Chain A
């Protein structure tokens, strides 16, 4: 997955301006950038520091503290397996194991074709429909091993 990312600097400036160059909005600015590139490209960090007037160390500290920010490229589809308590007691780990086996990756890794990243997250607030996974912004509930794998197959077909 060694793809060079082309950064749209104009768009970046627009995002920073939307938050009025406010250093308190650092995390939200990084999230907006991540929404575009599926991660925070480290190449944008010097610009963030300059525009917001913050130290590079603060940017790295915030980027590594919060789970929603990744400095590594992630897949086209980000699978979040909810491991909140309600999903846990209804067998979230079985779903997680099935997906890892199917995609041949460990938690937090991206498939070789760059299609899927699988992450375990804590509670996405759909507790009544557990076990739940989300893929990008879509939610799938009431899953078992086989229905979870069917969902992945659908995405695979869609991508090919």
Chain B
């Protein structure tokens, strides 16, 4: 096993990996193994290897199972470098053609290329696919190029160069100053300036700790998972730089129990880093000591809150405390603790490597760099999207995301998880950064972006988040514990058609109380989903309460389905699919729906291609 005792040894090794003579580059086949693609890619991988053997190419072609490429909707994905030939929606039976035509004969398999929905043209190169073209993947881009557990791949892309630069060429103060100049803000929620945290932590005495928050609890967000699974070294390198800057000897990654692959890949990377002398004592002969341990969470959303996370790290229930004393002064083990989330740590090596000025040129005045969003819900191109701060919602949802499926109408986009809010259509041109999202009542959160269409009931969405938070509230303070329970019972009443006059005002009053008097960030932001939907979609609440109607067709007691005589072609699909046999009718004749039998499961509505099932 390699071990680097000094800087020169590491540099020499990296250089030896990077020198490939022109014309001698191996073709690289990168197969996405992200959560969206991993279901089918084992068979694809196996088939590819066996085909390569058939042509005696197994040593000439470099095949890598990589982390998430981002375009989950089109998975399983394959990209062939250096041309970046892009094959989406891959199946095992496509492999022989790809090997023969692309890898042996250097031609593309036209019928397997991505077809642009707008122009109907086939697109060959990954960079030209609209989903990727409009992104700027400075943090997530390397995912495509490396096997997460292979250090050589990471070194080849300049891995640990930033750490080495910080350690040997910069003082800790200079490192913090670079982070400050870059304008890095925490990617986990509130967007607190990272350099202030770092500098304050460094000022306080005691055993300092650096901690990585990988308890990505926001439902609908999975960018931290993809970074930790796909490029764990970038997070380790960021933490090493942070530890050097604040003078910490120990670090922890607190990772969700639900992400077993992230734990596996990170464990392997940590073990290798230790063997190579990149973690441990006297790292690269510099006299700097640092090591990282993994701690697994237990499925509690509140543990994403800093004080709760640190309590959980100590082996206790994850209950937050009031922050009269900040965790940078007294946090984990009552010592100064520096907590940043996965994506924030992954930004650090980029800043040190490319320089604060380069980084600060990306983004808006007060939000620098890029942000990875998980674009999900009712949108054509679901997946992970990395764009410069300040990109408009419209560009993300329509130009990159391809708009709303089935030509349905956009209603809202939910950002910031359960602490965030729902943003209506009138703000689609809003540039997305920390401050702009806060201005419209939502927040950045960790970057979940859930698109909702006309079939989404906003009262139901509010109830969904409150229901989530009722379970996740730790129960220590009254406003959060009781406020949420009361909110849930009012919202449930409204969705059941039992809404009363005054319910809206009561929800607002409860929300304001929770905002003002809860103990921690979970409680103070818990009312956001209710308050923003009340602000922007008040008429839906009123329709539920006053007219007893749910026009989105979600709240079962408040709507019924009918068949539109004009649109029904008598194709019989709905009649065949109905589990209750509630639809009758002959071929090419208008069908009839028996309201007595209908359980409003919505299968007919989803199946009908002629827009003949109507919500009333």
A residues contacting B by CB (< 8 A) are 22-28, 31, 54, 58, 61-62, 65-69, 83-86, 88-91, 94, 121-130, 137, 139-141, 144-145
Contacts and interface: CB of A to CB of B under 8 A. Distances in A.
Contacts of B256: 125
Contacts of B299: 66-68, 121
Contacts of A141: 36, 39
Contacts of B155: none
Interface stretch (B146-154, B197-205, B217-225, B516-524): B217-225
Contacts of B260: 137
A127 B221 contact: yes
Contacts of B602: 91, 94
Contacts of A65: 298, 300, 317-319
A24 B298 contact: no
Contacts of B257: 31, 68
B317 A89 contact: no
Contact of A129 (B36, B216, B579): B36
A139 B296 CA distance: 20
Contact of B464 (A27, A61, A85): A85
30 contacts: A22-B315, A24-B313, A28-B295, A31-B296, A54-B315, A61-B316, A65-B300, A66-B298, A66-B317, A67-B298, A68-B257, A85-B220, A85-B414, A85-B448, A85-B450, A86-B450, A88-B464, A90-B377, A90-B378, A94-B602, A122-B219, A123-B221, A125-B259, A126-B222, A127-B221, A127-B376, A127-B382, A127-B448, A129-B36, A145-B579
A143 B55 CA distance: 38
Interface in B244-295: 256-260, 295
A22 B314 CA distance: 10
Interface in B371-397: 374, 376-378, 382-384
A83 B258 CA distance: 14
Contacts of B579: 145
Given A25-B315, A68-B298, A140-B39, 7 more contacts: A31-B298, A84-B220, A89-B461, A127-B221, A128-B73, A128-B222, A129-B72
Contacts of A69: 298
Nearest to B475: A65
A58 B316 contact: yes
Listed from nearest, the 5 A-B pairs whose CB atoms lie closest are A66-B298, A128-B72, A84-B219, A123-B219, A67-B299
Nearest to A141: B39
Contacts of A22: 315
Contacts of B414: 85
Given A85-B448, A86-B219, A122-B219, A130 B376 contact: yes
Interface in B220-248: 220-222, 225
B601 A126 contact: no
Given A66-B300, A89-B452, A129 B35 contact: yes
B315 A123 contact: no
B301 interface: yes
Interface string B463-489: 011001000100000000000000000
Contacts of B218: 123
Interface in B417-467: 417, 448, 450, 452, 456, 461, 464-465
Given A68-B257, A90-B377, A145-B603, A125 B300 contact: no
Nearest to B226: A125
Contacts of A127: 219-222, 374, 376, 382, 448
Contacts of B144: none
B300 A67 contact: yes
Interface string B588-606: 0000000000000111001
Nearest to B332: A24
A41 B84 CA distance: 53
B217 A123 contact: yes
Given A58-B316, A90-B377, A94-B601, A27 B296 contact: yes
A27 B319 CA distance: 14
B113 to A, nearest CB: 21
Contacts of A83: 219
Contacts of A88: 219, 464
A122 to B, nearest CB: 5
A65 B72 CA distance: 34
B340 interface: no
Nearest to A91: B602
B178 interface: no
Contacts of A23: 315
Contacts of B314: 24
B327 interface: no
Nearest to B414: A85
A58 B311 CA distance: 13
B312 interface: yes
Contacts of A126: 35-36, 222
Interface in B313-356: 313-319
Contact of B35 (A62, A91, A139, A140): A139
Contacts of B456: 89
Contact of A122 (B217, B296, B313): B217
Nearest to B418: A85
